[in-house]
Amino acid sequence: MGLFKFQNYSAIKNAQDNPRVKAVVDTVNGNVFTIGDNVNVGGVNVKEAQVLFEDAEAAQAGNIWVMNNIVDKPEIRNYADYKVEAGEDIRAFKLDSQIGEIVELSGDLVIADDVDPIVAGTYLVPTNQDDDADDEQMLWKSVYDASDYAIYLEVLEVTTFGLFTIDNSGKGYECKIKANNIVY
């Protein structure tokens, strides 16, 4: 069960969010993706839908959104069981408009890919379908160099954020949202 939160009120106050995005796969808070307009999902045309990053080029382009829903299902007895299922609405926040803000994420949202162990100064970028396994989609992965990515996270500190979640390895990360020459 992923945990993701903005550390400062300024990020929430100035957030660009979209509560109308349809999930195409089961999604938990903190998962990253992009949004497509008029996406064909199972033969149905969806006005605004979640789109997974197909390849490194798509992940590098920016337009990164993260799910940050309120747990609004009364039948859920444990926060760790919460997810938005395919076809349900996601409250998505655009990270491109949050440059310089601090976020915290639980360790189960991050995979140590190029850099292991992940320490302060490590760069985190979105996973993609070409380079990463199916069970690693919509997560963050560590890289040595994020200069090809429009939007990325830089780890400021390894914390215990999300320690109580069932999937967590006992680590969390405090990160700063950073950008490299965004051109839209």
pLDDT digits (tens, 9 = 90+) for 79-113: 777 889 998 999 999 999 899 999 999 888 999 88
How far apart are alpha carbons 151 and 63 in whole angstroms? 8
Instruction: Indicate the pairing of strand 32-41 with strand 44-51.
Output: antiparallel
Checking if the pLDDT of 27 tops 70, the result is: yes
Residue 32 · residue 141 · CB < 8 Å? no
Checking if the pLDDT of 119 tops 50, the result is: yes
Residue 44 included in any domain: yes
Buried residues in 104-128 as b, exposed as e (16+ CB within 10 A)? bbbbbbbbebebeebeeebbbbbbb
Instruction: Indicate the pairing of strand 32-41 with strand 123-126.
Output: unpaired
Task: For 38, list phi and psi in degrees, rounded to 5.
Answer: 50, 60
Residue 184 included in any domain: no
Residue 165 included in any domain: yes
Distance, first Cα to last Cα, the chain: 33
Question: Residue 184's pLDDT band (boundaries 50, 70, 90)?
Answer: very low
Residue 40 included in any domain: yes
* Structural domain total, the chain: 1
Mean pLDDT of 173-181: 92
Residue 68 included in any domain: yes
Residue 175 included in any domain: yes
- 89: domain range? 4-179
Checking if the pLDDT of 171 tops 80, the result is: yes
Checking if the pLDDT of 37 tops 60, the result is: yes
